[in-house]
Amino acid sequence: MTTRREFMATAALGATALALPPRAAWTKPSVGKPPMRFIFLHKGNGLFPSVMVPPSLSKDDAATEAKKGPLNLDLGKHDLPEWMKPLATHQADLTILQGLSGKMCTTGHHTWCSSLGVFKANERISSIRWATVDFELAKLFPSPMEHIELACFPLGGGNARGTLNGIATGFSARGPQQPNYAFGSPKIAVQELFKSVSTDKSVQAQSQLGRAALEFAARREGQLAGAAPGSERAKVQSYADSLEAVRERDRKVDAMADAIRPHVPKLDAKYLADEMTTVDRQRGHVEVLLAALISGLTNVVAFTVDELGHEYTGLAGIETEKVNLHDVGHGKGFGKLTADEVRFAVRRQHMTLIDTIAARLKKAPEGEGTVFDNTMIFYFPDNGETHHSQGTEYPFVVLSGKNAKLNIRGRYIRLPNYGDPGHKTLGNWYTTLLNLNQA
């Protein structure tokens, strides 16, 4: 494993770090080893670095922290911030990572795929420069579905505005000018991801019809590509290749049907409803996420747990309120809670989701250990350190299994401040993860 000292001491590539070599240049993981899994959970409305700090720092360490100087502390010797307490049972696997900057990203209210791709992005497809880090990791650990994205979409502003329950533009990217698509509701995610192993006759019939249509369309587009003039041939062939890729994915899922079927999530009725609270939507998505990872459908999941334009409902203490996160960012409280208390409730809710994920993966056997042993979970703000962020800090909460290639478990790490010698960026961080996992 690479040590935390090597990560902190080694300079990487900076803002252009995700301009990666072609896929063929990356070596595949060793045959026979369980694949690594990666779960990216990102939130809107910023994440204050101050709330990440363990409350039990010594006077000297607290002074260093206040100056945003470098720290590398044993987290096991410290209390977690109160909102992180749902992760207390996982403290040995936990890392609080502070000080990464993302000045190369779009910051502010809506950031699209910036924080995963380390480039300026907006709602125009032409702004997508390359694949986001989650897709690059998915290429290193191939699976039938390659990558799955789930989202609590915003109703106003940001990606897929006005969409809650459908499939819409997500927050990840497959490649240049190739946005990913995300499932907005647990119901639609289950229907689409597990339809090939469904025991429902009507679902089976629809799946067969869909595959027949795909076969026809792929064959037809291939014929058109051969006859198209040079200027159009590449476009048509790209479409034909995409259709064939979907068919190949379906064939891989079919080959795994017996392994997948026992893990099809049996969701509670409230997670299948068209109307549900944000909290229930998040919990339903977690069930889908776990089923997809444990069954082997995918090794990488991106989950937008909320976005600035999402109308938050079901929060503990203000269950009946419809919380506008933009208003919270401008200091407005809801119900009996102040704006800071709403932020606390949101973060605490997110930690309960991560606790559920980690606890269940620790109970899923794999090889001589568990699925969690081969998993990394990342929680971070989509838009940086504050509501109106500048990109100087992107705090991370990381949970790592014992087989993770980067050994930073059980640490509080503050990297040198933006502009100081030894400072690291999101590009450095993602490149470190990619370089380690290609070996």
DSSP string, 90-146: GGGGEEEEE--B-TTS--SS--TTHHHHTS---SSGGG--S--HHHHHHHHS--TT-
CB 123 within 8 Å of CB 278: no
pLDDT greater than 90 at residue 261: no
> For residues 201 and 316, which has the higher predicted lDDT (pLDDT)?
316
**For residue 260, what pLDDT is reported?**
79
What integer is the mean pLDDT of 371-398?
A: 97
Question: Is the pLDDT confidence value at 287 over 60?
Answer: yes
What angle separates helix 186-193 from helix 278-295, to the nearest 10 degrees? 20
Q: Say if CB 69 and CB 346 are below 8 A apart.
A: no
User: Among 158-167, 245-254, 400-409, which is the least confidently predicted range?
Assistant: 245-254
Residue 200 pLDDT > 80? no
Output 370 or 13, whichever has higher pLDDT.
370
Q: What is the distance between the alpha carbons of residues 84 and 258, in angstroms, rounded to a whole number?
A: 38
Mean pLDDT across 344-368: 97
pLDDT at 439 > cutoff 80: no
Q: Which residues contact 74 (CB under 8 A, 6 or more apart)?
A: 410, 411, 412
Q: What is the pLDDT of residues 307-352, one digit of tens each?
A: 998 999 999 999 999 999 999 999 999 999 999 999 999 999 999 9
At 155, the pLDDT band (50, 70, 90 cuts) reads confident
390-409 mean pLDDT: 97
pLDDT of residue 230: 63
Q: How far apart are CA 287 and CA 306, in angstroms?
A: 17
> Which residues, in sequence order, are bridge partners of residue 375?
37
Window from 167-181, 184-198, 358-372, 411-425 with minimum mean pLDDT: 184-198
- Residue 228 is predicted with a pLDDT of 62
pLDDT in tens, 2-57: 555 565 555 333 333 333 333 333 334 445 789 999 999 999 999 999 999 999 99
What backbone torsions phi and psi does residue 80 show, to the nearest 5 degrees?
-80, 150
Given a cut of 70, is residue 225 above it in pLDDT? Answer: no
Average pLDDT estimate for 407-424:
97
Placement of tokens 């991106």 in the chain:
302
Which of 98-112, 137-151, 157-171, 320-334 is the least confident region? 157-171
Token pair of 407, please?
Answer: 């050994």
pLDDT range class, residue 241, cuts 50, 70, 90: low
Lowest mean pLDDT of 4-8, 41-45, 100-104, 366-370, name the range: 4-8
Identify the burial level of 25 via C-beta atoms within 10 angstroms of its C-beta, where 0-12 means exposed, 13-18 middle and 19 or more buried: exposed
CB atoms within 10 A of CB 258: 8
Q: Is the pLDDT of residue 217 over 60?
A: no
- Sorting pLDDT into bands at 50, 70 and 90, what band is 404? very high
Model pLDDT, residue 239 = 52
Q: Would the pLDDT of 150 be above 90? A: yes
Three-state DSSP state, 326 = helix
Which of 13-17, 119-123, 166-170, 310-314 shows the lowest per-residue confidence on average (mean pLDDT)? 13-17
Per DSSP, the residues of 333-380 read: -BTTB-HHHHHHHHHHHHHHHHHHHHHHHHHSEETTEEGGGGEEEEEE
CA distance 325 to 312: 7
The predicted pLDDT at position 251 comes to: 73
Burial 158-188 (b: 16+ CB within 10 A, else e): bbbbebbbebbbbbbbbeeeebbebbbbbbe
pLDDT of residue 104: 97
What pLDDT band is residue 234 in, cutting at 50, 70 and 90?
low
Looking at residue 174, its pLDDT comes to: 93
Residue 24's pLDDT is 33
| pLDDT (mean) for 255-280 | 88
* High-pLDDT (> 70) share of the chain, %: 80
Winning range, highest mean pLDDT, from 64-68, 219-223, 271-275: 64-68
Please state, as a whole number, how many other Cβ atoms lie within 10 Å of the Cβ of residue 19: 13
- What rounded mean pLDDT belongs to the chain? 86
pLDDT number for residue 214: 39
